[in-house]
Structure 1
């Protein structure tokens, strides 16, 4: 009798272990590092295309993508752009997609990531490569349009990252007084305006690793977004995006001494705020 009970317990244990393994395989195996309760990540990691479950990805509806913003639920995402394309369960803190866009006679492929807060509301959204955000400016016919959702060029505000933050820093307490003044001035133009999309894009220079620079640019963009919200800009219109070192304005020789290289690359360390529909 004792042996039978032990066998039963062992069988139940084995069954429970099997269920746990199945549950784990249903969730993402490529989690971004250091996802905080508010969805900020220390390092955003995109999965290898080889790991995709929904083979070959999809051609998304651009209008559906434009409706996605902070606070979106997983059910809403499922309705707008479908289930995630990689092996990610419903309780995962991030969902990944592989999208394709027609641009004239060619097809551009992009990875898209949504990171959720602890309440499973999407808060941060990333493209790989970052330039894929431009695909939202393209109409379904393949003709390039001037803006993602409405006609006209965006109003562009460009801030030197060194005016906003100390070198290599990204937290709100690192904001320089000049940076806070500039952000307050931008917020005053955005508040009460008819801007429908406001994109905050962080950039870095090439000093350091590509992954570290991408993470730094994302943190800076997220910090600027949060400060604009504190200044009264509507949160649902604000999106944060890190471009890392991928879009330099200035090229500098590698042979320069470190201090001179840092000074030379200064124009690349910046944060841009693009507002569509600003009047």
Structure 2
């Protein structure tokens, strides 16, 4: 071997040793045989990623969340790709990544480092994040809280007992009607902390014009709502609506007027519908 060849070999060995020492500086110390931990975790500098991974990557979250202990390197690479640094692929006991995560609300990007330690059989065993708070990205978002169950109650009040004939104002409410509304108001006040909404809907029979019946049903619904509010039921919980002759309960035909009016009585009503949150 001549002097020139000897010097070239020396240079190559020196370079290889330098590279080896450099690589060792970026690899964790004494990874346990079972891959559960390392005596000292060493994190490579993010700017030392391979050129194709410069700046880090945005992992697909569903794939990232499928990474778990027991996967081999091929399986992991299919989920999140090959490691981002030059620590090696097959013979090494750790892989390192630089991942970017964009916040859905603010749009800001967080940069996180992810490390996988492998056991002696090169199966993934333990996982680390830098900073630690980045581990939250590996966890699926919590399921939305279950929708609150809503209970619905309905009270039907006959307008024939609530109001004098063809009347609708507070002063026109009969004594029997006041007793019914007082009892209803007391019940609503007992339940007000659970109540989401109270709908007061007025109806008439089909006798008379559509416009007249619409106005009458609306006024009666508003009067009942006003009465309940005066008894202490929160105003912001109550809505009033008139539907005229819509949604008839009974159909009556071919009868004399007096009997027809009596037959149609169930259609003349105010319905109080209460939607409450269940415990």
Q: TM range, normalised to the smaller chain? A: 0.3 to 0.5
Q: Which has the higher contact order (CA 8 A, sep 6+)?
A: 1
User: How high is the TM-score relative to the length of structure 2?
Assistant: 0.45
Q: Is the radius of gyration larger for structure 1 or structure 2?
A: 2
